[in-house]
């Protein structure tokens, strides 16, 4: 009985300090499996206690590319990674490596999905594309207008020509009549 108690005590002494000094990952933002529907420009890993400098994490997109962080800050067991711009819509995996207060390294990973409305930049790009299309449409309309104008011009010049011919004919007829009258009076 006494040996059993001693063994348990010994086991506790071996296990408890380690367990107490290990710093486990407590919560993350976004949570594991979360679908984020708002622009996301930073990720937060909150540890259950202090972690050491050198603790870090990587954010990997669905095609295996690592997303560069502008900064990774460690404040009281909270690791915050900030990105240059909001993450594009995609599935991401965060691979974290932390160093517990007792110096023991811990590692793990979690995943989340970004499915946010398109960013302003994307909207602007879309608007620019639409404008280009609009310009093309306008050009087509303008071309049509030009063609119409040409057709109108042609019609107008034919009318003018007919008008001039009519006047010339009238002058010729009047002249002939006048000449004829003069001849008659003589």
How is residue 107 written in tokens? 């590692």
Q: Does 100 bind Cu ion (CB under 5 A)?
A: yes
**Rounded to 10 degrees, what is the CA torsion of 163, 164, 167, 172?**
-140
Instruction: Rank residues 23 and 69 by Cβ distance to Cu ion and give the closer one.
Output: 23
Largest CA distance in the chain: 166
Binding mask 3-42 for Cu ion (x = CB under 5 A): ------------------xx--------------------
* 112 contacts 35 by C-beta, under 8 angstroms: yes
104 near Cu ion (CB under 5 A): yes
- Scanning 50-58, 98-106, 116-124, 170-178 for contacts with Cu ion by CB under 5 A, the matching segment is 98-106
Binding segment for Cu ion (CB under 5 A), chosen from 80-88, 93-101, 127-135, 175-183, is 93-101
Q: What is the dihedral of CA 177, 179, 183, 186, to 10 degrees?
A: 110
Helical (H) or strand (E) element with 126: helix 120-185
Which helix (DSSP H) or strand (DSSP E) does residue 20 occupy? helix 2-21
User: Can residue 153 be called a binding residue for Cu ion (CB under 5 A)?
Assistant: no
- Smallest gap from Cβ 104 to Cu ion, in A, equals 3
Asked if 102 interacts with Cu ion (CB under 5 A), we say yes
* List of residues contacting Cu ion (CB under 5 A): 21-22, 100, 102, 104
């Amino acid at each position: 009985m006494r040996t059993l108690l001693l063994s348990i005590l010994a086991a506790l002494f071996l296990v408890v300090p380690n367990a107490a000094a290990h710093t486990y990952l407590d919560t993350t933002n976004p949570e594991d499996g979360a679908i984020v529907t708002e622009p996301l420009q930073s990720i937060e890993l909150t540890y259950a206690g202090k972690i050491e400098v050198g603790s870090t994490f990587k954010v990997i997109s669905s095609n295996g590319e690592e997303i560069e962080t502008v900064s990774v800050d460690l404040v009281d067991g909270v690791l915050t990674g900030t990105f240059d711009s909001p993450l594009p819509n995609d599935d991401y995996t965060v691979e974290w490596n932390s160093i517990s207060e007792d110096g023991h390294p811990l590692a793990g990973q979690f995943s989340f999905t970004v499915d946010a409305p398109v960013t302003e930049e994307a909207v602007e790009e879309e608007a620019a594309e639409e404008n280009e299309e609009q310009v093309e449409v306008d050009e087509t309309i303008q071309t049509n207008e030009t063609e119409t104008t040409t057709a109108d011009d042609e019609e107008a010049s034919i009318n003018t020509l007919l008008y001039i011919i009519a006047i010339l004919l009238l002058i010729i007829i009047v002249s002939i009549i006048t000449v004829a009258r003069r001849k008659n009076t003589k």
